Chains A and B, each alone.
Chain A
Amino acid sequence: DADVTQTPRNRITKTGKRIMLECSQTKGHDRMYWYRQDPGLGLQLIYYSFDVKDINKGEISDGYSVSRQAQAKFSLSLESAIPNQTALYFCATSDLLSTGSTAGELFFGEGSRLTVL
């Protein structure tokens, strides 16, 4: 089983619908992140959470919300999806205690491909 699991892996929806992408992890990490990837634009940070009571906006949080239900679960919601939110979404985790050569290491899920028509 994957250490970082995202559901659904693929989703097609219509403009105006509410969508939730879920992420769960078995790595025991405190830190969790949601990134969006568009072709040619790399990875952009949407939201991040350093523990259950800590939620922070990233570079592109408008139109998104998140919920950290438990240490292992971090969900991303699109309250009213629009076509320019069509993208590949990645959840990632990192270890608060990472030091040295692994201090910059994130562990990514396999991605959720969202298409908004």
Chain B
Amino acid sequence: GQSLEQPSEVTAVEGAIVQINCTYQTSGFYGLSWYQQHDGGAPTFLSYNALDGLEETGRFSSFLSRSDSYGYLLLQELQMKDSASYFCAVRSRDSSYKLIFGSGTRLLVRP
């Protein structure tokens, strides 16, 4: 089976940098995704890492270490609109390649 762990809440100040960690256990790993969800809204895709290293997309970056079963999402130059929940999700290398989600990290950005 698969399991993912991420902190339940993180608070940061506008303009700062915040890192949201995710550790996972899976029987066959294929990649790690990150999603953002604002209250009452649909999850939206942010990034995907299949290989070790850092992927950068604007203010957001995502990192993966396959040997450590660990990844993180890095948000720079935080803005108030970044207040949302962030989910990591594992794509499993079994017959299904389905995505299994973590329970999410609620980020509160304060002025």
Contacts and interface: CB of A to CB of B under 8 A. Distances in A.
Contacts of A48: 96, 98
A107 B33 CA distance: 13
A102 B50 CA distance: 10
B15 interface: no
B47 interface: yes
B103 A41 contact: yes
A108 interface: yes
A44 to B, nearest CB: 8
Contacts of B99: 33, 45, 94, 104, 106
**Interface residues of chain B: helix, strand, loop or mixed (majority):** strand
B47 A58 contact: no
B96 A104 contact: no
B42 A110 contact: yes
A94 B103 CA distance: 21
A41 B35 CA distance: 15
B43 A105 contact: no
A20 interface: no
Contacts of A109: 42
Contacts of B47: 101
Interface of B: 8, 30-33, 35, 41-45, 47-48, 50, 55, 87, 89, 91, 96, 98-104
